[in-house]
Amino acid sequence: MKVPQLRKKPEIKSCHNVTWEDNYSWIHQKDILEVLKDKNKLDPEVKEYLIKENNFTDYHLKETKPLQKKLFDEIKGRIKLDDESLPYRDHTYDYWTKTTVEGNYSIKLRKKINSKDVEEIWNGDKEKEKLGVEYFGVGDLEVSHDDKLLAYSLDTKGSEYYTIFIKDISSNRIVTKEIKETSGSIIFSLDDKYIFYSKLDNNHRARKIFRHKIGNFDDEDELIFEEKSEAFTVSIGISSDEKYYFISTSDHNTSEQYYFSINEKLPKPKLIIKREKGILYSVNSWDGKFYNHTNKDAEDFKIDISESLEKQNWKPFVTGKNEVLVGGCIFLKNWIIRSETSEALDKLFVRNISTDKEEELTFSEEKVCVPNISLKQKDRNTDEIYIGYSSPKTPSRVYSYNLLTKSKKLLKEQEIPSGHNPDDYIVERVEYESHDGRMVPLTITRHKKTKIDGSANLLLYGYGSYGNSMSPSFSSTRLSLIDRDIIWATAHIRGGMEKGMKWWKEGKLTNKKNTFEDYIYAAKYLIEKKYSANKKIIGMGGSAGGLLMGAVVNKEPQLFLGIIMAVPFVDSLTTNLDHSLPLTVGEFDEFGNAKDNKEHFDYIFSYAPYNNIKKMDYPHILITTSLSDNRVLFDEPAKFTAKLRDFKTDNNLLLLKTEMNAGHGGKSGRDGAIEEIAFDYAFALKISKKN
């Protein structure tokens, strides 16, 4: 089949006295944000190219169709399709969600306390059918405090523009106007007369908080707060004691918070602490005290406490520790629960308020696992909570736990209908030395029958941006590769916060190349220790993890058999130079500001995947993207693919697949998500010569 060719239309670009040629910049439309909302506005020539690439991909993966079906059935077979969550009790009802064998979306149910009559208040499949849309994304589902109203937000394109609806549960009637172009989150006022929400601006940034009077079909909503900086986005929430609303405004690196009382008829948000570059803080209120979770004078965070916000007098509550990330608090009447992260592992701590004694909450023998807790009920006067954990080999287990007696009872275990024995798998946590001597954690999961002699293929997963940490939790989907002798390794590289804020700082701005080096050194370590071998490793990453894939494949292509990039941020210089795009301005503290800072420009130019494609052999590459993605525009992977076709000197596969009805998270619905995983895994198995 003929290799798709994108028409060249050379444009000479320049910045800071540096010029470069871009043959494919023409595919970026000036009205790109309108295209995300309405795909009919897409340039017909570009659409034709994307369709040709899709056909080319289908042609080369045609023989994997039976394997994709097999993988789909396998992955779906590990999911208990007909399942129910554990209940959450408010003052009148127990609420829970349910999934069914036939459905793709969840159902929300409730029953009055001590009653057996179950009421369905939300059914995603029915709502999708009613709207007649292909993509169906639910942003938020909130029930009013009096249990009479259901507010929900929907994205029907994948572009993350959410419309809010509010309906009366008993009559199923819409009771107020549709609120369009919001970020999706909804907060009811305590008297249920209003909702608060954030509105997206023309650049898809949430910079305004509005209050909407329920029942209003005509009048403009009331503006409560506006953020003036284009780099910051806003959100609103209610305090743990339900006495204050808190408005948070932040970029990735700096935050500021405002508050107003729940009783204020005309809310006037008051500043808590003025923003200071590089300082993050988050204040909560409980039992007459205010708790501030901040990195001010504590790189890896601390928690301070004050009796008042008018007359602030912050005193230490939890002090900071080096390379131990201190998390926020969950409050009960007699207990405070908080988390810590170090060496890419989480821990939970419980403090008895009356004795002020704190101890670690441990409930698993496994060294590498992810613990979690959640509240069972709205009433905080309780000793009972849900605790749970999972690990790379152990499905999720949830217990009812009594904080006073320390007794626990298993309530729910993630069921794998097709069968699963954790003892068939080996999980290892190792550390390896990176290029500059830093020790990087690596989580390795393999089948016990897989030989460690260099013969195995290995999938090396990485992300390493925005301080996002990769948790070693259970994934039933990965077993489809692990059971076929493909080892799964997750590199906890810099740019995440697995070892605290320093770990993030060492992997961003002009330290970004540490992220790439950490990943390359992970691959070299795994080869040296005979987990795999040269040209047997498959790299995988999505979004900023796609930037990682693009950078490492340009630098060390010979290490890899193949690369799988999902919605990859591969034209990072072009995006960074365009301040009108949704995420650019808010990410100056993550990637730099190439337009206004020559040092940043030179640094990004030196690693940006699109600008560093070379004439050389590349491994097999699969790139997936979505037409309505506003976080990483589809034109980035499209340009990258077209340029790579011009330069690569090998005969390996280079495939681009564009979902024409999806956003940054891919297809909507359970089956859609499984289809995408099966597709990626079929590619991995094809190039590994496995089935």
Residues contacting 232, CB < 8 A, separation 6+ = 207, 249, 250, 251, 254, 256, 586
Determine which one of 155, 346, 518, 629 is catalytic.
629
C-alpha to C-alpha distance for 375 and 382, rounded to whole angstroms: 10
Is 543 catalytic? The answer is yes
Closest CA to 137 of 161, 155, 119: 155
Choosing from 543, 572, 668, 688, the catalytic residue is 543
Q: Is 572 helix (H, G, I), strand (E, B) or coil?
A: helix
Amino acid identity, position 514: N
Nearest to residue 392, comparing CAs of 450, 330, 325, 345? 345
Tell me the three-class secondary structure of 280-319, residue by residue: CEEEEEECCEEEEEECCCCCCCEEEEECCCCCCCCEEEEC
Strand order in 289-294's β-sheet? 281-286, 289-294, 302-306, 315-318
Helix (H, G, I), strand (E, B) or coil at 367: coil
Catalytic residue, candidates 626, 664, 668, 688:
664
Pair 326, 320: CB distance under 8 Å? yes
Examine the residue annotation and report whether 83 is marked as an active-site residue of this protein.
Answer: no
CA distance 322 to 501: 9
For residue 566, report the phi and psi dihedrals to the nearest 5 degrees. Answer: -105, 135
In the sheet where 457-461 sits, what is the strand order? 425-433, 439-447, 486-491, 457-461, 537-542, 560-566, 620-626, 654-659
CA 173 vs CA 150, 184, 198, 353, 434: distances in Å: 10, 20, 24, 45, 59
Three-class SS state of 334: coil
Q: Is 252 a catalytic residue?
A: no
Identify which of 273, 270, 253 has the alpha carbon closest to the alpha carbon of residue 261: 270
To the nearest 10°, the Cα dihedral for 117, 121, 125, 127? 150
Q: Which residues are catalytic?
A: 543, 629, 664
